[in-house]
Structure 1
Amino acid sequence: MIHYPLLHKGATIGVTAPSSGVSTDLHELLRLACSRMEANGYSLICGETVWTEHKAKSAPAKVRATEFNQMMKDDTIGMIFPPWGGELLIEVLEFIDWEQIKRKWIMGYSDISVLLLAVTLKTGIATAHGANLIDQRGEWSDQTTGMWENVLTTNIGESVVQQSSPYYQKEWNHDDPSPCVFHLNESTSWQVVSHEAVKIQGRLLGGCIDVIRHLIGTPYGDVRHFQQHVISKEPIVWYLENCELNTADIRRSLVQMKLAGWFDHCAGILFGRSGVNRPVGNYTLEDMYQELAEELEIPIVYDIDCGHVPPQMTFINGALAVIEAGDGKGVVRQFFAP
């Protein structure tokens, strides 16, 4: 059974950095994001880890885990919202107090997806893969990114619909700040490997493939147990996005996932847009998607609104989803079904 948190308007949000913190020269961005959230009616409590960054992490693993554990236990905090991702979140997993994980939303992406997937697999508590806190610093938000609040305030038994974005940001341009944060100027087009419209249904799981692949073979990546004992053998729909991997490394990662049983009883895979699609030899990402679709005999949709090329939808790990894609467009309906 999946257990869904519920975000209440005016809730207190705990800001902690289980991966990377914010370096001194970027503190103003964090303050701005917090002030925007406060203007929207939320209260924020920032932990000490968010203000520090040293040797690719906000603090030693035990320090990061301790702050996270404290915020999870604090009944006055209704949501955990890290500033952004990083590199070494996996170090904190062994120090998390898994018996004290409470039903409150944790949202983020990139390296944070390691924590999100581990929490859902181990506890059955839904987690939210979506824009980071830093991404909330704009005067206003695009319609895709801004849907996170609608998604997290969805009641158990209800559903929420998200449409594919009209435009996406091809390249980051931090030297040209805009009221919307993102510069959305390229037409979005969801692609289907079969070149035909598809409809996929199953329980969502996923994250950044660069980092969640390292959960394979650990106590925090037991997909088989989750599927058999938490979602009663329902099919899984994976959403995956790539930060830094070339095509061959993505292929190796996907084969490892397949051999580990992560794609057993899989209804389909959604791949986010990537700004680092580097072929190896003549082996392209499109070649890899085609091979995977044929091997697994499932529909594959790519260039969706997910990951490091914004904007991105908010995907709920554990939610029952129906995804329809065709003619460059996509619709994702998520049901908050136990």
Structure 2
Amino acid sequence: MIQYPTLDEHAVIGVTAPSSGLPERMHHYLDDIRKRFEDSYEIIIKPSVLTQDKVRSTDSNIRAKELNELFTDDQTSLIIPPFGGELALEIINKIEYDQLKPKWLLGYSDISTVLLAITLKTGIATAHGTNIVDLRGRYSDETTAMWSKVLNTKVNEEVVQYSSEFYQSKWNHSQPSESIFNLDTQTEWKSVNAEAVTIEGRLLGGCVDVINHLIGTPYGDVKAFREKYIKDEPVIWYLENCEVSTVEFRRILVQMQYAGWFDNCSGILFGRTPVTTDTNSYTIKDVYQDTADDLQIPIIYDIDCGHMPPQITFINGAYGIVEYSDGKGKVTQKFI
């Protein structure tokens, strides 16, 4: 069975950097974060958060040690990295999976490598959603703010989230809004063949740029996860593409198919992607259509997930019911 962490009132949040840390010019973000959370959570900042060199916060052994410490102490209830990065993969073999206590780990982008590996190896639910740097504003938009309600959901309860009204079409880090994001474009979920869709199954996913590197390793054994933790239940994959080309995106999805990751898959959700260029006229929509044709499953795309915020908080391992029609979406997650 899936193990769902619990988030206590006035919980302690541990901030560590399994991938990238904050360069000195961003250290003032921590003051904003402490101020934002001072009435609700205690914040513990690990040293890796304050360092960054050659695309990493620090040495992989230190990054892994900090994460292991937060997962095994008696104080921390929730772990949120500052943001993603490039080389979280370097710590995957240094995580002490058999020692981890059920605690929430929340993040996305490169952090999704760690999220997925932990859930597949241990059956502990992990949370794909916002990072802590993007929670430093005076308030959060309605979609982003749901992270707290989702992580406060108890075992045998359910939580419902809806598609956003607007999303951010491009980053402007020098001019953040009071909620950090500049939500400037109307959200419209879509489905291949433009049909209304309802999908049910266990949720798994992350950023395709990085999670594909778990394929063929002991940390990406989806078959073993199915057999041990969810038996014969179908899987809904939620996936987002940060920056890979359309043809590389297609190659990754085909590799996932060959590796058995899409066996007993009831549908795929694709997040909005900033990748808009085609490759010799091969487009993102072609990728979605080819995948739907190959797998003969429903596909919903341009959902609230990934590098074009805001983001729905998806729980790896939770039982999901995803409903789409007329450009809108509803995600129900059951902690069963």
Question: Given the two structures, how large is their TM-score scaled by the length of structure 1?
Answer: 0.98
The Cα offsets for residues 174-219 of structure 1, whole Å up to 9 and x where unpaired, read as 2222211111120000000021100000000000000000000001
1:38 aligns with 2:38: yes
CA distance in 2, matches of 1:254, 1:139: 39
User: Which amino acid in structure 1 is aligned with residue 2 of structure 2?
Assistant: I
In structure 1, the residue matched to 2:317 is: 318
User: Which amino acid in structure 2 is aligned with residue 334 of structure 1?
Assistant: Q
CA distance in 2, matches of 1:30, 1:86: 18
In structure 2, the residue matched to 1:2 is: 2
3-state SS in 2 of match to 1:45: strand
- Per-residue deviation at 1:228? 1.6
Equivalent residue runs for 1:110-149 within 5 Å: 110-149=109-148
CA distance in 2, matches of 1:36, 1:290: 43
- Per-residue deviation at 1:32? 1.1
In structure 2, the residue matched to 1:283 is: 282
In structure 2, the residue matched to 1:53 is: 52
CA distance in 2, matches of 1:273, 1:30: 28
User: Which amino acid in structure 1 is aligned with residue 282 of structure 2?
Assistant: Y
User: Which amino acid in structure 2 is aligned with residue 7 of structure 1?
Assistant: L
In structure 2, the residue matched to 1:232 is: 231
CA distance in 2, matches of 1:140, 1:229: 40
1:24 aligns with 2:24: yes
Question: Given the two structures, how large is their TM-score scaled by the length of structure 2?
Answer: 0.99
- Per-residue deviation at 1:95? 1.2
3-state SS in 2 of match to 1:31: helix
Q: Which deviates the most, 27-36 or 119-128?
A: 27-36
3-state SS in 1 of match to 2:280: coil
The Cα offsets for residues 202-246 of structure 1, whole Å up to 9 and x where unpaired, read as 000000000000000001000011112210121000000011111
- Per-residue deviation at 1:299? 0.2
User: Which amino acid in structure 1 is aligned with residue 4 of structure 2?
Assistant: Y
User: Which amino acid in structure 1 is aligned with residue 35 of structure 2?
Assistant: S
Q: Which deviates the most, 170-179 or 83-92?
A: 170-179
Structure 1 consecutive aligned stretches of length 4 or more whose deviation exceeds 4 Å? none
In structure 1, the residue matched to 2:151 is: 152
CA distance in 1, matches of 2:9, 2:168: 29
The count of corresponding residues between Structure 1 and Structure 2 is 336
The Cα offsets for residues 255-279 of structure 1, whole Å up to 9 and x where unpaired, read as 0000000000000000000112321
Gaps of 5+ in 2: none
User: Which amino acid in structure 2 is aligned with residue 245 of structure 1?
Assistant: V
Gaps of 5+ in 1: none
Question: Is this contact kept in 2: 1:205–1:318, CA < 8 A?
Answer: yes
Question: Is this contact kept in 2: 1:22–1:30, CA < 8 A?
Answer: no
CA distance in 2, matches of 1:230, 1:99: 15
In structure 2, the residue matched to 1:205 is: 204
In structure 2, the residue matched to 1:95 is: 94
In structure 2, the residue matched to 1:86 is: 85
CA distance in 2, matches of 1:94, 1:171: 34
Question: Is this contact kept in 2: 1:324–1:331, CA < 8 A?
Answer: yes
Equivalent residue runs for 1:266-281 within 5 Å: 266-281=265-280
3-state SS in 1 of match to 2:237: strand
In structure 2, the residue matched to 1:331 is: 330
1:186 aligns with 2:188: no
- Per-residue deviation at 1:72? 1.0
User: Which amino acid in structure 2 is aligned with residue 13 of structure 1?
Assistant: I
